[in-house]
Amino acid sequence: MQSPRHILKSVFGYDDFRHHQAEIIDALIKGQDVLTLMPTGGGKSICYQIPALLRCGTGIVISPLIALMQDQVDAMRQLGVRAAFLNSTRLPGEQRAIEQDLLAGELDLLYMAPERLLNSHMLDLLDRSQLALFAIDEAHCVSQWGHDFRKEYQQLSMLHERYPKVPRIALTATADQRTRDEIITQLALQKARVFINSFDRPNIHYAIAESGNSRDALWSFLTQNHAGDAGIVYCLSRKGVDAIAQWLNDKGRVALPYHAGLTQDERQRNQQRFLREDGLIIVATIAFGMGIDKPDVRFVAHMNLPKNIEAYYQETGRAGRDGLPANAWMSYGLKDVINLRLFTENSDAEEQFKRVMHQKTDAMLGLCELTGCRRQALLAYFDEALEQPCGNCDNCVSPPETWDATIATQKALSCVYRTGERFGAQYLIHVLTGKEDERIQRNGHDQLSTWNIGSEHSGAEWRGIFRQLIAHAYLATDAEGYGVLKLTSKAWGLLKRSEPPQPVMLRKLRKPSKEKAKKKKSGAAGQQDLSVQDQSLFEALRALRSQLAREQNVPPYVIFPDRTLVEMAIVRPVTLAQMLDISGIGEVKRARYGEIFLAGICQFGSSS
């Protein structure tokens, strides 16, 4: 029997295991159940792929998104692994052929959605097949507290009852303690070995900005950092997705929309273009992205606040899966803060669920309004300590200024009180800044003591103050959905105190930097500080890869990821034996592509 390390090198082309991969693989080979938390891009798939190759039978991979199964299977076949998928895109004849391969033991891996696995026909097939293991990917989908809840996942506990001798591995990149406990309970993994790796993605730079003109801020971010890179832009609504995608196209970038309002064919076509073409931007609602394997997504931008930190971490984790530098950028404003509160308050959920959601919202807002290291706070949410500030987030690179906003806070809260707790932030700002407004005059609010007492601050500064007062629980939004601001018990404590209050320290509005950003080389290789000549060879190898990918109708990264091409451009192997020394090149890929890429390197050398 081959060893896991031999398979790692000969099939996948890697010399060493990462994180807890070796222990996880050993546990599964021995027939033990496993729950593993590993960051996106940390190598979760290898944890079940190698045991599936070494154990007798077929490994069944349960994945929530059928749209990505084709690419996952293509990637496995490029490595010489016998892989297939079953979903609704299969023709009847194709489905029967795959089922026969399963029964005959001629598949190493079979991918399917939970709905497919749970139907009686599929279960009957599995009963008659030899099974190596079950891999339950994106296991956080089992949690009703999570952001990607799938009811079908909660039925997967039947695997333990029906196939007690087949080991199971549940995998996720995102789960706080509550979600981990629910995964164990719902999937009957009480006896599983648990492996929790670091949640840290040190290659991602986190930046969260107050929105002024969000579009201008996004364009500045893209032109300064990602002029030709692939990335994802998340918007809250379908309307927002369509508008931003059109705007980006008008500005000269290739951007495609993705949301539930498009037909399935349109969504599939846009997703496939994103996976197969270089430098394309997908603009999407949160319906897009789970399980995206594209390793060279160089940025993820949020135009609105995510609902919770789990969603934020999951979505930003789609950047930089290859370990090369990537950006997670977000623009948010007062409206986002109010909408997040209202979303929970207006839901039909039970009170316990609402309380949990409010806690998650508070944590998300806290991350945004933070003055310290964002990575430390992000990891702390997942019960992981980072001893020193990361040096790779906006607050570390450019520490925000704070100011004593006690008097401004008292003015704002007093204005809320004296107008009867019946108005939203914009109206209150008009009162505070003395705006001549017919509505204010009709209500008699131009006669209040709070009229025009806040003219020392601009409207943008007051919006920041109100946003932070909501985030810090001095103000709450109404439950009816009109954005009306009301005082909390914390606010009353500040207004009624006879002794001097504790200072209220808020963030200063961060002004856009006037410094010109250093011109960055576009693409992952450029961020590796390649020499000019190596960069040129990388681009030539990238073009060669794209040509091969088009001929085979597969995403370029399933042939070789950028990281492999970067190493090829630096090392410049001249023999097939030397190709095996390049990370990511196993025996099958060397046999399939070795001569082609060696010729490309040789031709480049002779022409330069």
Q: How far apart are CA 301 and CA 325, in angstroms?
A: 15
Token pair belonging to 515: 């410094």
Q: How far apart are CA 183 and CA 331, in angstroms?
A: 32
Q: What is the CA radius of gyration of the chain?
A: 27
> Residue 355 has what pLDDT?
77
Looking at the domain 525-607, which fold is it?
A: DNA polymerase; domain 1 (1.10.150)
Task: Please check whether residue 276 is in contact with residue 555, taking contact to mean a CB–CB distance below 8 angstroms.
Answer: yes
Beta partners for residue 567, in sequence order? none
pLDDT lower than 50: segments of the chain: 514-527, 607-608
DSSP 393: B
> Residue 471 has what pLDDT?
80
CATH C-level class of 402-507: mainly alpha
DSSP 81: -
Task: Please check whether residue 516 is in contact with residue 504, taking contact to mean a CB–CB distance below 8 angstroms.
Answer: no
CA distances in angstroms from 556 to 37, 210, 305, 548, 572, listed in the order given: 28, 36, 32, 8, 20
Collapsing DSSP to helix, strand or coil, 209 comes out as strand
pLDDT in tens, 235-246: 988 999 999 999
Q: How far apart are CA 401 and CA 464, in angstroms?
A: 13
Collapsing DSSP to helix, strand or coil, 207 comes out as strand
**Rounded to 5 degrees, what are φ and ψ at 111?**
-95, 140
Whole-structure pTM over 0.75, yes or no? yes
In 176-237, where does DSSP find H-type helix?
177-186, 214-225
Q: How far apart are CA 445 and CA 463, in angstroms?
A: 19
Task: Please check whether residue 80 is in contact with residue 593, taking contact to mean a CB–CB distance below 8 angstroms.
Answer: no
Task: Please check whether residue 21 is in contact with residue 43, taking contact to mean a CB–CB distance below 8 angstroms.
Answer: yes
Task: Please check whether residue 168 is in contact with residue 31, taking contact to mean a CB–CB distance below 8 angstroms.
Answer: no
**What are the helix and strand counts (H, E) for the chain?**
26, 17
In 9-91, where does DSSP find H-type helix?
21-29, 44-54, 69-78
**Rounded to 5 degrees, what are φ and ψ at 322?**
-80, 0
Fold matches, 4-196 and 204-332: yes
> Residue 36 has what pLDDT?
95
Q: What is the dihedral of CA 89, 91, 96, 100, to 10 degrees?
A: -60
CATH node for 4-196:
3.40.50.300
What's the N-to-C CA distance of the chain in angstroms? 47
**For residue 27, how many other CB atoms are within 10 A of its CB?**
21
Collapsing DSSP to helix, strand or coil, 249 comes out as helix
Q: How far apart are CA 601 and CA 209, in angstroms?
A: 43
Domain ranges of the chain: 4-196, 204-332, 402-507, 525-607
Q: How far apart are CA 69 and CA 61, in angstroms?
A: 10
Token pair belonging to 92: 């009847």
Task: Please check whether residue 68 is in contact with residue 75, taking contact to mean a CB–CB distance below 8 angstroms.
Answer: no
CATH of 204-332, picked from 3.40.50.510, 3.40.640.10, 3.40.50.300, 3.40.190.10, is: 3.40.50.300
Q: How far apart are CA 453 and CA 419, in angstroms?
A: 14
Task: Please check whether residue 288 is in contact with residue 266, taking contact to mean a CB–CB distance below 8 angstroms.
Answer: no
pLDDT in tens, 395-443: 999 999 899 999 999 999 999 999 999 998 899 999 999 998 899 999 9
Collapsing DSSP to helix, strand or coil, 420 comes out as coil
Secondary element (H or E) of residue 302: strand 299-302
SS3 per-residue string spanning 491-534: HHHHHHCCCCCCCCEEECCCCCCCCCCCCCCCCCHHHHCCCHHH
Token pair belonging to 32: 């033990």
Q: How far apart are CA 529 and CA 514, in angstroms?
A: 25
347 half-sphere exposure, CB direction, 13 A CA radius: 15
